[in-house]
Amino acid sequence: MSLDILRVGSPGLREVAAEVTRLDDPVVVREANALGEAIRAFRAEHGFGRAIAAPQIGIRKRMIGLAMPGWPDVIVNPQIVWTSSERMTLWDDCMCFPDMLVRVARFASISVDFLDMRGERHLRQALGRPESELLQHEIDHLDGKLSFDRAVGENAVVHRTVFEAHRAAFAAQVDYFPQPL
């Protein structure tokens, strides 16, 4: 099993991930641990990354590794069970194309149902924008979708160096901009 992040253009990123049926399967446990290792390695190299969907490292299962306080390290079989009527635009970044950002539209809030690795069911309701946008992004990966599929507006893709050089101008183009200016 590799911890290398698949890059945009990799066919595996377009496949729909399979539901996890046995959390006690040693392969599933090993793959769940690999998600945490992959996040840590990516953050060390690139300085960002709060989550990783299993398909991003070639694991075709519905699992997401998280590096967020108050959340399990891995969530399994997540599904969005509610979406707000409000939408938001934001600049989305991704481990699969770390040098680019894409302006996307997402729901401003969602509720998500999932299992943790112990098999306990969780329902997180009416999440705030940071968690909502992140989980929508990661669940998209489980469904074979990329940020480019959600791109909105003209010039919706920008190189990170251009973005960083003109942060305030790019912030003015979206509804939600969590990065400090």
Residues annotated catalytic, as ranges: 138
Q: How far apart are the C-alpha atoms of 153 and 104, rounded to whole Å?
A: 9
What's the rounded Cα separation, in Å, for the pair 14 and 35?
19
Binding residue numbers for Fe cation: 94, 137, 141
Own/partner contacts of 157-161, CB < 8 Å, gap of 24 or more, are 157/100, 157/101, 157/102, 157/103, 158/91, 158/100, 158/101, 158/102, 158/103, 159/99, 159/100, 160/93, 160/98, 160/99, 160/100, 160/101, 161/99
- State how far the Cα of 20 lies from the Cα of 157, in Å rounded to an integer: 34
DSSP β-bridge partners for residue 79: 113
